[in-house]
Amino acid sequence: MLKKRFVSALALAVAAALTAGCGGSDPDPSDSGYDPNQPVTLDLAFWGNDVRAGFYEQALAIFQDEHENITVNSSFLAFPEFWEKRQIEAVGGDLPDVMMFDYSYLRQYSENGLLLDLGPYLGSTIKTDSFSQQALGVGVVGGVTTALPIGTNAWAVHLNLPLIQQLGLQPFAGGGSWDDYNAWMTQVTTAGAGQYWGGVDWGGRIQNFELILRANGGNLFNQDGSPAFSQDDLKDFWNQTEAIRAGVVVPQSRAEEIYPKSGFGGGLAATELTWDNFGASYMGDLGVEASALALAAPPTAKIGSKDLYLKPSMMHSIAATTEHPEAAAILVDFLLNDERVGGIFGTNRGIPASATQLAGVDLDPLSQQIYDYEISVANRLGDPPPVPVVGFGTIEEKFRVLGTELGLGTISVDDAVAEFFVEMTNVLNA
């Protein structure tokens, strides 16, 4: 909710920043004036806590030993305060040289000229051979790379293995059609006899709608930020999920009783579709070890399609106003690629997107599970969709709320579609 509050204010702040002329130009590395014998000072900002700050301190000690001319001043805040401060800095043209970045804000900062074009440094100062093409594509806005992923996530089906075993059934095998998944959930719900259900209503997550659009060659939004789907597309999707709301998934009224836990986290459902890194939260909610959980590939609307993609857990960007682009690129390369950094952070910033850095990580059982899962779906990973539109969080939340209302039976599919398009249009035109 805090993230969504910043969107309108940030839009005004960014506009003011540009009016004031503080959006920087993209320097050419050959003109950067970087001299390894001349002292350089960089500001690095990230969000997190004292534990993450300690990891950065260790990593930066190694970096500065090897780059004695570069002094790095680091600072951190909790996530909401981090973006509040960036908003103020955007107005004053004083963003940190290097920033941890969140996918939700990437389009807004990029389109307003606040982030450096990393293209001139890719493959040279910033090594890219350890990244997959899918990972490299997630930080591209308008054909320009303005961020690189620290770690990645993929959409997945989470399974509660003890519950499935208790009901005498086999785990969902993954893949197959949506009808196959619904049929499996029906078996679980029948065996659960009113106490347990096969899954959570997947019609309330916009990512499942996105998955179906991608299986048919589309996306939620076009590169210019306009909607890439019609009202009929959304109507078909919500009509498709009507059947599972009729007794197959956790009833919405029951889900409301255990909120903020989900039906899966509350121990009522055998499966749930969400990002693969939600396992730690589920372990806490259910009070189980990683071995009690498993990941499987989501169903698909078209076998053989490239409907899945890697989403960055967090990213690194460089301010367009930096006076030391080459030195900043050297720091970004170190933070993303160095194997020793992987050993220091482990999976604190997610499973590293760089294979080189991943080699230094000692994966815990849950992280190993996520890593193995992403390897298993490699043949389904397609090009990432366009970077989320400004205000995507608001749009996603409206989709969820309408899904809840559909589950409660307080709105029709036609009315839900109409209401969603009104909200989306307002957000996109704000």
pLDDT tens digits along 384-407: 999 999 999 999 999 999 999 999
Percent over 70 (pLDDT), the chain: 92
Note if the pTM is more than 0.85.
Answer: yes
The conformation of residue 296, written as its DSSP 8-state character, comes to E
116 and 207 in a common domain: no
**Looking at the domain assignment, is residue 378 inside a domain?**
no
The conformation of residue 379, written as its DSSP 8-state character, comes to G
**Looking at the domain assignment, is residue 373 inside a domain?**
no
**Looking at the domain assignment, is residue 342 inside a domain?**
yes
78 and 20 in a common domain: yes
3-state secondary structure of 151: strand
Instruction: Look at residue 33 in the predicted model and tell me its pLDDT.
Output: 67
User: Distance between CA atoms of 135 and 152, rounded to whole angstroms?
Assistant: 7
| Across 12-26, 161-175, 249-263, least confident range | 12-26
159 and 147 in a common domain: no
What's the CATH number where 30 sits? 3.40.190.10
197 and 147 in a common domain: no
Instruction: Look at residue 183 in the predicted model and tell me its pLDDT.
Output: 98
Encode 227-243: b = buried (16+ Cβ within 10 Å), e = exposed.
bbbeeebbeebbebbee
**Looking at the domain assignment, is residue 399 inside a domain?**
yes
Of 20, 5, 55, give the one whose Cα is nearest residue 391: 5
280 and 320 in a common domain: no
Q: Extract the tokens encoding 396.
A: 């996603």
Q: Is the pLDDT reported for residue 32 higher than 90?
A: no
Domain that holds residue 279: 155-308+391-428
237 and 334 in a common domain: no
**Looking at the domain assignment, is residue 379 inside a domain?**
no
339 and 258 in a common domain: no
Instruction: Look at residue 34 in the predicted model and tell me its pLDDT.
Output: 85
**Looking at the domain assignment, is residue 375 inside a domain?**
no
For the chain, the domain total comes to 2
Instruction: Look at residue 83 in the predicted model and tell me its pLDDT.
Output: 95
- Residue found under tokens 């059947």: 243
212 and 87 in a common domain: no
148 and 13 in a common domain: yes
Helices (H), 259-349: 279-286, 325-337, 339-345
Res. 143 pLDDT band, cuts 50 70 90 = very high
334 and 290 in a common domain: no
**Looking at the domain assignment, is residue 383 inside a domain?**
no
Higher pLDDT, 208 or 32: 208
257 and 363 in a common domain: no
167 and 137 in a common domain: no
Instruction: Look at residue 430 in the predicted model and tell me its pLDDT.
Output: 83
Q: Rounded mean pLDDT of 305-325?
A: 96
